[in-house]
Structure 1
Amino acid sequence: MTRTIWVKADASVGDWEARKRRVTTAIEAGADWVLVDESDVGRVRELGDIAVAAFRSEADVVDGDDEAAEADAYFVGKDGEGDGTIDLPNDLSGSADLTTVRRRDDRAQGVYVRVLGKEYEAFAEAAAADADYTIVVGEDWSIIPLENLIARVGDDTHLIAGVTTAAEARTAFETLEIGSDGVLIDSDSPDEIRGAVDARDVADRETLDLRYAEVTAVERTGMADRVCIDTGSLMDDDEGMLVGSLSRGLFFVHAETAESPYVESRPFRVNAGAVHAYVRNPEGGTNYLAELSSGDEVQVVDTAGHTREAIVGRVKIEKRPMFRIQAEVETDDGVDRVETLIQNAETVKVATSAGRTAVTDLESGDEVLVYYEDVARHFGEAVEESIIEK
């Protein structure tokens, strides 16, 4: 599931300057969408690159401006059935679908509903069956209507919960252990908007089950083309990347955060290994190190298995002396061998049961941290087939 953050910036927020501040904050914070009145779409486009959803306003209907900038999605419900301006139909069983509500704007892909009572929850459920996007806003924020809608329409629509704080956004993403697909935050606070974006990122990230493997060989292998991955993010002392020669077993290699008498720390860098090796990406697949280039995404992981994404800023490939590190992993079927090539340098460190260890100090019998996944891969994607790697 790809979670989304929407920032509310329609006329209810205030004048254009107030709306502009919200839109600017949304762009700078990394939100996915802003929700505005259609008359503001063109002005939002001038502020930056963000997806724009729009309510059709009465002014737009009167003016009939065919040259107005187009939104990426249109919503009905505001000043209509969705917010109580127009009474709900008596029979919600067949007359509340989006096609009926859309009569005021036949371009609409989304519906906006304030949950003013149980009947509005039923209305949102009926309309969601035909809507790509369904926004539900509780008057006194409560997880109960959201729980009901997640259970009933979660697979039919992109369900977006209205919130006013980052804490509410986190709760929305955790509800029923599934969470809403997105949140619409209605707040003037840049901190709350940024906090909602952080909540999205945390909800989207996986936690990996890392384990220790026993080192069985550390051998000098001569020269190879070594890859350093320089990211656009700073990494912490316990963070690094998962790399390896065999797709089923990837070694945890620390970022160069530690000070050294030989070189300055480079907390944006992972000295990852030889060009043939795999590195794990945020989608759960792998890329060859040789394939990476500026703008690609790689997965950063800490020693507890928590993950996040980072953008590659630069890849450095140079000939360097290498070690071959071999280790054995205990599996349900016995013991499996994994290995990788990594530069022979004291600045390159792996995670072991004894802590951060330079590869030049690594010995047989040490326990190194790995991610083991008993699957084959084809073009970086897990497949169910027999592939022999050795």
Structure 2
Amino acid sequence: MPEKKVWVKAAGKAPWDERKSRVTDALESGANGVWVNKEDVEKTRKLGKIEVISDHPEADVVLGENAIYQVIFSKKEEEQATKLGAKSKYLIINSTDWKVIPLENIIASLQNQCKVVVEVKTLDEAKTALETLEVGADGVLVDADHITIKKICGFVQSLSQKKLDLVAVTLKKIKPVGMGDRVCVDTASLFNVGEGML
């Protein structure tokens, strides 16, 4: 599974100390990026190494250039988002009311064309966004408190854990190991000849 992104929203009209706190939350929680006001790009870079999203031309992801932000109120905005996303590296969406259906349509339309990032406020919203249509969005933009940011980052990290593939093996030796805890699972009616369970 490709790595999912967690961006934290630190842009807005709040005083710099509050916005700075959100940047620090992102850094401490292991988020991939932080969305900041144009005037905060340099200050953000001084706080730590993190991807910076802004409408400033020196940002890592430049809003309006290689990233589009679209609020979805209706089917019209959903269709507009799909068209804009096809021409951009990132499409950041905020679905104000109905969330799953527009997201399903956008993911299906833009799969492998651009990265879809969904604005979320809760862990449940993040789970829905990242698991929709099994492939999910490519990331989330979190607009929430420190605890929620940390929970979402933890969830995304658990999704990114390397999965081990089961492979065929050859049994080389059987030896008694003495007494110990044992369990027996009767699978005689479930498996065919040659099948088993570890």
Asked if 2 retains the 8 angstrom alpha-carbon contact of 1:6 and 1:185, the reply is yes
Q: Could you tell me which residue of structure 2 aligns to residue 190 of structure 1?
A: 146
Q: CA deviation at 1:10?
A: 0.7
Q: Which is helix-richer, 1 or 2?
A: 2
Q: Secondary structure at the match of 2:117?
A: strand
d(CA) in 2 for partners of 1:172, 1:155: 17
Can you list the C-alpha shifts for 1:317-367, whole angstroms capped at 9, x where unaligned?
A: xxxxxxxxxxxxxxxxxxxxxxxxxxxxxxxxxxx9959xxxxxxxxxxxx
TM-score, normalization: structure 2?
0.82
Report the AA paired with residue 137 of structure 1: N
Q: Secondary structure at the match of 2:124?
A: helix
Whether 2:134 is the aligned partner of 1:134: answer: no
d(CA) in 2 for partners of 1:152, 1:16: 38
d(CA) in 2 for partners of 1:214, 1:30: 42
Asked if 2 retains the 8 angstrom alpha-carbon contact of 1:110 and 1:134, the reply is yes
- Structure 1 residues 181 and 213, CA, compared in 2 at 3 Å: closer, same or farther? same
- Structure 1 residues 70 and 209, CA, compared in 2 at 3 Å: closer, same or farther? closer
Report the AA paired with residue 152 of structure 2: A
Asked if 1 retains the 8 angstrom alpha-carbon contact of 2:73 and 2:97, the reply is no
Report the AA paired with residue 135 of structure 1: I
d(CA) in 2 for partners of 1:128, 1:9: 23
Q: CA deviation at 1:140?
A: 2.4
Can you list the C-alpha shifts for 1:105-157, whole angstroms capped at 9, x where unaligned?
A: xxx11100011221111111011111011100111251111100000012110
After TM superposition, the structure 1 = structure 2 runs for residues 201-220 of structure 1, keeping only pairs within 5 Å, are: 201-208=157-164, 210=166, 214-216=171-173
How large is the RMSD of aligned CA atoms in angstroms? Answer: 2.6
Whether 2:32 is the aligned partner of 1:32: answer: yes
2:59 to 71, 83, 87: 71
Q: Could you tell me which residue of structure 1 aligns to residue 127 of structure 2?
A: 170
- Structure 1 residues 176 and 354, CA, compared in 2 at 3 Å: closer, same or farther? same
TM-score, normalization: structure 1?
0.43
Q: CA deviation at 1:210?
A: 4.8
Q: CA deviation at 1:168?
A: 1.1
Can you list the C-alpha shifts for 1:24-65, whole angstroms capped at 9, x where unaligned?
A: 000000000101121100110111110101025xxxxxxxxx
Q: CA deviation at 1:208?
A: 3.1
Asked if 2 retains the 8 angstrom alpha-carbon contact of 1:111 and 1:135, the reply is yes
Q: Could you tell me which residue of structure 1 aligns to residue 10 of structure 2?
A: 9
Percent identity between the aligned chains?
35
Q: CA deviation at 1:70?
A: 2.0
Larger Rg over CA atoms: 1
After TM superposition, the structure 1 = structure 2 runs for residues 244-255 of structure 1, keeping only pairs within 5 Å, are: none
Report the AA paired with residue 115 of structure 2: H
Unaligned segments of structure 2, at least 5 residues: 184-197
Alignment coverage as a number of residue pairs: 180
- Structure 1 residues 163 and 5, CA, compared in 2 at 3 Å: closer, same or farther? same
Q: Could you tell me which residue of structure 1 aligns to residue 110 of structure 2?
A: 153
Q: Which is strand-richer, 1 or 2?
A: 1
Q: Could you tell me which residue of structure 2 aligns to residue 179 of structure 1?
A: 136
Q: Could you tell me which residue of structure 2 aligns to residue 41 of structure 1?
A: 41
d(CA) in 1 for partners of 2:98, 2:47: 31
By relative contact order (CA 8 Å, sep 6+), the higher-ranking structure is 2
Q: CA deviation at 1:213?
A: 6.5
Asked if 2 retains the 8 angstrom alpha-carbon contact of 1:35 and 1:55, the reply is no
Asked if 2 retains the 8 angstrom alpha-carbon contact of 1:8 and 1:186, the reply is yes
Q: CA deviation at 1:207?
A: 3.7
- Structure 1 residues 141 and 191, CA, compared in 2 at 3 Å: closer, same or farther? farther
Asked if 2 retains the 8 angstrom alpha-carbon contact of 1:41 and 1:54, the reply is yes
